[in-house]
Structure 1
Amino acid sequence: MAVNMGKLDRGLRLVVAAALFILAAGTSVGDGTFVEWAFYGLGAIALLTALVGICPLYSVLGIRTCRAA
Protein backbone atom coordinates (compact mmCIF):
# COMPACT_ATOMS: atom_id res chain seq x y z
CA MET A 1 0.00 0.00 0.00
CA ALA A 2 1.27 3.44 -0.89
CA VAL A 3 1.29 6.39 1.47
CA ASN A 4 -1.81 8.50 0.88
CA MET A 5 -1.53 11.11 3.67
CA GLY A 6 0.43 14.35 3.54
CA LYS A 7 2.46 15.93 6.34
CA LEU A 8 -0.28 18.34 7.38
CA ASP A 9 -2.88 15.58 7.51
CA ARG A 10 -0.58 13.39 9.59
CA GLY A 11 0.25 16.23 11.97
CA LEU A 12 -3.41 17.05 12.50
CA ARG A 13 -4.16 13.40 13.24
CA LEU A 14 -1.40 13.35 15.86
CA VAL A 15 -2.95 16.39 17.54
CA VAL A 16 -6.41 14.81 17.42
CA ALA A 17 -5.03 11.53 18.82
CA ALA A 18 -3.38 13.37 21.73
CA ALA A 19 -6.61 15.25 22.45
CA LEU A 20 -8.63 12.02 22.41
CA PHE A 21 -6.20 10.31 24.79
CA ILE A 22 -6.36 13.29 27.15
CA LEU A 23 -10.16 13.28 27.01
CA ALA A 24 -10.27 9.55 27.69
CA ALA A 25 -7.91 9.82 30.65
CA GLY A 26 -9.72 12.83 32.08
CA THR A 27 -13.28 11.69 31.55
CA SER A 28 -15.31 11.82 34.74
CA VAL A 29 -18.07 9.59 33.45
CA GLY A 30 -16.56 6.57 35.20
CA ASP A 31 -13.97 3.88 34.81
CA GLY A 32 -14.29 1.59 31.83
CA THR A 33 -17.29 3.28 30.30
CA PHE A 34 -18.12 3.08 26.61
CA VAL A 35 -17.25 6.75 26.08
CA GLU A 36 -13.81 6.32 27.62
CA TRP A 37 -13.02 3.26 25.51
CA ALA A 38 -14.41 4.94 22.39
CA PHE A 39 -12.01 7.88 22.93
CA TYR A 40 -9.10 5.47 23.41
CA GLY A 41 -10.07 3.49 20.31
CA LEU A 42 -10.48 6.53 18.08
CA GLY A 43 -7.22 7.98 19.43
CA ALA A 44 -5.39 4.74 18.65
CA ILE A 45 -6.75 4.68 15.11
CA ALA A 46 -5.76 8.32 14.54
CA LEU A 47 -2.29 7.68 15.99
CA LEU A 48 -1.71 4.54 13.95
CA THR A 49 -2.78 6.09 10.65
CA ALA A 50 -0.65 9.17 11.35
CA LEU A 51 2.43 7.08 12.07
CA VAL A 52 2.14 4.82 9.01
CA GLY A 53 0.81 7.48 6.66
CA ILE A 54 -1.88 5.22 5.24
CA CYS A 55 -5.59 5.78 5.77
CA PRO A 56 -7.72 2.81 4.62
CA LEU A 57 -10.78 5.03 4.25
CA TYR A 58 -8.83 7.38 1.96
CA SER A 59 -7.88 4.36 -0.17
CA VAL A 60 -11.51 3.29 -0.53
CA LEU A 61 -12.65 6.83 -1.39
CA GLY A 62 -9.68 7.55 -3.68
CA ILE A 63 -8.44 10.50 -1.60
CA ARG A 64 -4.75 11.45 -1.51
CA THR A 65 -3.44 14.35 0.56
CA CYS A 66 0.22 13.80 -0.23
CA ARG A 67 2.12 14.90 -3.28
CA ALA A 68 2.58 12.38 -6.05
CA ALA A 69 6.04 10.84 -6.16
Structure 2
Amino acid sequence: DRILRFLLALVLLYFAFQSAAPWNWILGIVGVVLLFTAVTGFCALYKVLGISTKR
Protein backbone atom coordinates (compact mmCIF):
# COMPACT_ATOMS: atom_id res chain seq x y z
CA ASP A 1 0.00 0.00 0.00
CA ARG A 2 2.76 2.44 0.92
CA ILE A 3 4.76 1.64 -2.21
CA LEU A 4 1.73 2.22 -4.43
CA ARG A 5 0.96 5.51 -2.68
CA PHE A 6 4.56 6.62 -3.12
CA LEU A 7 4.63 5.77 -6.82
CA LEU A 8 1.27 7.43 -7.45
CA ALA A 9 2.44 10.52 -5.57
CA LEU A 10 5.53 10.76 -7.77
CA VAL A 11 3.44 10.44 -10.93
CA LEU A 12 0.96 13.09 -9.79
CA LEU A 13 3.73 15.49 -8.76
CA TYR A 14 5.46 14.94 -12.10
CA PHE A 15 2.30 15.84 -14.02
CA ALA A 16 1.56 18.75 -11.69
CA PHE A 17 4.81 20.45 -12.69
CA GLN A 18 4.76 19.58 -16.41
CA SER A 19 2.30 22.13 -17.73
CA ALA A 20 0.54 25.29 -16.69
CA ALA A 21 -3.01 23.91 -16.66
CA PRO A 22 -5.23 25.46 -13.97
CA TRP A 23 -6.01 22.10 -12.35
CA ASN A 24 -2.35 21.21 -11.77
CA TRP A 25 -2.40 22.63 -8.27
CA ILE A 26 -4.98 19.97 -7.38
CA LEU A 27 -2.65 17.25 -8.67
CA GLY A 28 0.14 18.79 -6.61
CA ILE A 29 -1.90 18.82 -3.41
CA VAL A 30 -3.06 15.23 -3.86
CA GLY A 31 0.50 14.20 -4.68
CA VAL A 32 1.88 15.83 -1.54
CA VAL A 33 -0.80 14.20 0.64
CA LEU A 34 -0.08 10.78 -0.87
CA LEU A 35 3.64 11.30 -0.46
CA PHE A 36 3.16 12.26 3.20
CA THR A 37 1.01 9.21 3.91
CA ALA A 38 3.48 6.93 2.13
CA VAL A 39 6.49 8.25 4.02
CA THR A 40 4.91 8.43 7.47
CA GLY A 41 2.66 5.38 7.19
CA PHE A 42 -0.27 7.33 8.65
CA CYS A 43 -3.50 7.88 6.76
CA ALA A 44 -6.20 9.80 8.61
CA LEU A 45 -8.92 8.42 6.34
CA TYR A 46 -7.90 4.83 7.13
CA LYS A 47 -7.89 5.70 10.84
CA VAL A 48 -11.43 7.12 10.68
CA LEU A 49 -12.71 4.12 8.69
CA GLY A 50 -10.90 1.60 10.90
CA ILE A 51 -8.90 0.12 8.01
CA SER A 52 -5.48 -1.39 8.65
CA THR A 53 -3.10 -2.66 5.97
CA LYS A 54 -0.61 -4.07 8.47
CA ARG A 55 -0.21 -7.83 8.40
TM-score (norm 2): 0.91
Alignment size in residue pairs: 55
Find the partner of 1:15 among 7, 13, 18.
Answer: 7
| CA deviations over 1:16-44 (Å, ceiling 9, x no partner) | 00000111111352xxx2x1110110000
User: C-alpha distance in 2, partners of 1:18/1:27?
Assistant: 15
Greater relative contact order (Cα < 8 A, sep 6+): 1
Instruction: Verify: 1:27 aligned to 2:19, yes or no.
Output: yes
Structure 1 consecutive aligned stretches of length 4 or more whose deviation exceeds 3 Å: none
TM-score (norm 1): 0.74
**What 5-or-longer segments of structure 2 have no aligned partner?**
none
**What 5-or-longer segments of structure 1 have no aligned partner?**
1-8
> What corresponds to 1:42 in structure 2?
30
CA-atom RMSD, angstroms?
A: 1.0
Query: Which of the pair has more CA radius of gyration?
Result: 1
